[in-house]
Amino acid sequence: MASSNYLRGHPKKILKDSCMNDIKKYSFPYRSTDAWNKLSVDVVCAASVSQMKEKLDKCGQRQDIESYDSGP
């Protein structure tokens, strides 16, 4: 996780290391890091999973997040 002193986005950003092999590059956690980091503070800091889903639906980002599960 990135430090708590942030200027943009939310405080729970995930740092993405560079990778040299395809196994890591095409893994779900590596592919979904960019989508997670682009989420708004309201979505990431939701009090529950159901609230997070509601906020994702309201801002239209839920489809973008679910597309990361399909792979390359």
Among candidate residues 31, 72, 26, 22, the one with its CA nearest the CA of residue 14: 31
- pTM, two decimals, is 0.63
pLDDT of residue 70: 55
Write out residues in the chain with pLDDT < 70, as ranges: 1-7, 61-72
pLDDT of residue 10: 83
Q: How many CB atoms lie within 10 A of CB 60?
A: 8
Q: Tokens at residue 63, please?
A: 């489809």
Distance CA 51, CA 57 (A): 10
